């Protein structure tokens, strides 16, 4: 009789231990995958709040070399600014610097047209130039400059700048508002990067995208 009771007790203990292990395992898996999901998401308020915990757990023991949205969404707008220059303006710019007026934003009109017609080819046409802006800011390679010069040269042809012999290129970065600033009137400060002054590429053809 005593042995039967002992076996019953042992069986009950084993069942209890197994059930506890199952609950703990499920809770651990839920917590692990929840933290992993938050860790690989783009920057958000929950991620900022849990950053110490994420760094101490997922970041330390399960570091990810990828992101759920790869590459990360762009957090700023990048615009290619073009200033056509005649030979005389180019000479003046060498000593007195570039003029403040006469700059054209050749990026925004393309994205505006694309957003109004998602099935158009504006995205395919201008995306290489847009990517060149980001790559130039990271790598400063001549290949990206050449693509920007071609875009600027085609733009000058489209708007009838026949007396322009050079183009000045500048990249303007407009950061998006931080999450904590979205309810305020504070506006992010735009940053500009001067790429340089280059001869117009006479070999490019009219692309007929900037003509009125």
- The CA distance from 134 to 123, in Å, is 16
Mean of the pLDDT values across residues 164-192?
A: 81
- Lowest-confidence range among 37-51, 63-77, 109-123? 63-77
pTM comes to: 0.61
Residue 69: inside a domain? no
Q: Is the pLDDT of residue 70 over 70?
A: no
Q: Do 100 and 164 fall within a single domain?
A: yes
Number of domains in the chain: 2
- Contacts of residue 125, Cβ cutoff 8 Å, sequence gap at least 6: 110, 207, 209
> Is 19 a member of any domain?
yes
CA 4 to centroid of chain Cα atoms? 69
> Residues 19-39: what's their mean pLDDT?
88
Q: Where are the beta strands (DSSP E) in 8-115?
A: 76-85, 104-105
Q: Does residue 45 fall inside a structural domain?
A: yes
In a domain, 146, yes or no: yes
pLDDT value for 118: 66
- For residue 152, which of 174, 129, 127, 125 has the smallest C-alpha distance? 129
Looking at the structure, do residues 41 and 134 belong to the same domain, yes or no?
no
Position with higher pLDDT, 136 vs 10: 136
- Would you say residue 198 has pLDDT above 90? yes
Q: Give a yes or no: residue 52 inside a domain.
A: yes
Same domain, yes or no: 126 and 181: yes
Strand partners for 197: 168
Same structural domain for residues 94 and 145? yes
Residue 181 per-residue DSSP state: G
Count of positions (residues) in the chain: 212
pLDDT at 49 over 90: no
Q: What is the mean pLDDT of the chain?
A: 81
Kindly state the percentage of the chain with pLDDT values over 90.
19
If you average pLDDT over each of 28-32, 49-53, 110-114, which comes out highest? 28-32
Given 31, 61, 91, the domain boundary residue is 61
Q: Which domain holds residue 144?
A: 76-199
The answer to whether position 204 is within a domain reads no
């Amino acid at each position: 009789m005593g042995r039967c009771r002992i076996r019953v007790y042992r069986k009950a203990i084993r069942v209890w231990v197994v059930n506890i292990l199952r609950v703990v395992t499920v809770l651990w898996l839920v917590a692990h995958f929840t933290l992993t999901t938050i860790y690989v998401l783009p920057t958000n308020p929950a991620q900022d709040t849990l950053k110490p915990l994420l760094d101490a757990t997922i970041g330390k023991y399960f570091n990810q070399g990828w992101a759920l949205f790869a590459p990360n969404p762009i957090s700023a707008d990048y615009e290619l600014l073009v200033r056509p220059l005649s030979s005389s303006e180019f000479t003046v710019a060498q000593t007195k610097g570039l003029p403040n007026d006469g700059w054209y934003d050749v990026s925004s009109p393309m994205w505006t047209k694309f957003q109004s017609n998602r099935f158009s080819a504006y995205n395919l046409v201008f995306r290489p130039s847009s990517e060149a802006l980001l790559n130039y800011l990271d790598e400063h390679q001549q290949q990206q400059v050449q693509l920007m010069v071609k875009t600027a040269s085609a733009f000058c042809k489209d708007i009838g700048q026949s007396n322009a012999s050079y183009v000045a290129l500048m990249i303007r970065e407009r950061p998006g508002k931080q999450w904590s600033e979205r309810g305020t009137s504070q506006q992010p400060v735009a940053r500009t990067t001067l790429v340089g002054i280059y001869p117009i590429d006479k070999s490019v053809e009219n692309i007929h995208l900037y003509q009125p």
